[in-house]
Amino acid sequence: MISRRNVLLGASTVASLGLLPSISHSQSKWPARPIAINIGNAPGGDDDTLSRWLAETMTGGLGQPVVVENRPGGSMTLAATAVASSRPDGYTIFCLVTPVVVQTALRSNLQYTLDSFAPIVKIGSYPLALIVSAKAGITSLDNLMATARSGQGVTFASGGVGTVGHITSTMFLKAVGGKGVHVSYKNNPEGIQALIGGFTQMICASAREAAILKDDPNLRVLAVTSPVRASNLPDVPTMAELGFPNINSRVWYSFVAPAGVKPEIVNKLADAIIAGVKSTKFQERFTPLSFQTEILTGDDLKQFLHSEADRYRTIVAENNIRLEN
């Protein structure tokens, strides 16, 4: 008859001989399956484009497929909520962009806070560009300001309430003493298409998006928000050159995981993303588009996210930006 004591001793002996996998060994095998980068926009946006380029490098570095999953809606809050409530195992991460932080200043009913995420890495930013619709009758800065100061003002598009484009447009109109009607779209590509069609008169989009559109006869790129002229828009003046030095918005891009992910997994993800950003292929593709690389990790990134939330809370209050806008 086999006693319980003998069974326990037998199991102990087998384990001591290394015939049973230890817990620490099984944990070291991460990642053991594909990793998903969640995006709060439809395909084609800057966060989507950057993430898809990085996913290829991450796949090679981590030894598992890294895929991009688009979850557009709610000014990125749908994707943020989904990731915040995911299992903290490192297999679900989020490209957290400036508007996600802005939403914490605009909405009191969010199902997440910044502390719902484990910071992985901030990779850099794009300046914005002020684009107008010649088809809608706007062809110059003077023309834009005159329209903004008369009647109901200008009709301006954005990729959603609380996006950096929305906030920057509102700040510009306040600076010139004008007004406008905000038309919110699901994302910037939809807003840009409305501008091309003459359905709206103005949008603030990334310098990358603006450079692609600069030769479209229906559009005019009037200014960029960077401190110096954008490399891909050398003939376009800065807001500071035009007399608006305080309009210096940038859209930054970071990656986070659900809070509770083990530090060693966060570090592996950060190393894989940083390797992609520093690669020659990535830099040759995005630096000419005015992407400015800036690496932040750990507590530095956490502090940055919270400082940005405080900054945008002030901007939202000063410019009376509301969800119903």
CB neighbourhood size of 226 (10 A): 24
What is the mean pLDDT for each group of 10 consecutive residues in the chain (325 residues)? Answer: 45 46 56 97 90 97 97 90 98 96 91 96 97 94 95 92 93 95 90 95 95 93 94 95 94 98 98 97 94 96 96 90 68
User: Among residues 223, 209, 242, which one has the least CA distance to residue 132?
Assistant: 223
| 39 contacts: CB under 8 Å, gap ≥ 6 | 45, 47, 48, 51, 68, 69, 70, 71, 72, 79, 95
pLDDT score at 2: 46
Which CATH fold would you assign to the domain 34-126+251-318? D-Maltodextrin-Binding Protein; domain 2 (3.40.190)
Which part of the chain is CATH 3.40.190.10?
127-224
Residue 130 near residue 172, CB atoms below 8 Å: yes
Q: Which CATH number fits domain 127-224: 3.50.50.60, 3.40.1160.10, 3.40.190.10, 3.30.300.30?
A: 3.40.190.10
pLDDT score at 75: 82
| 143 contacts: CB under 8 Å, gap ≥ 6 | 132, 137
Structure tokens at 145: 């300001």
What CA–CA distances, in Å, run from 5 to 9, 12, 15? 6, 11, 15
User: Residue 17 corresponds to which amino acid?
Assistant: L
Eight-state DSSP code of residue 27? H
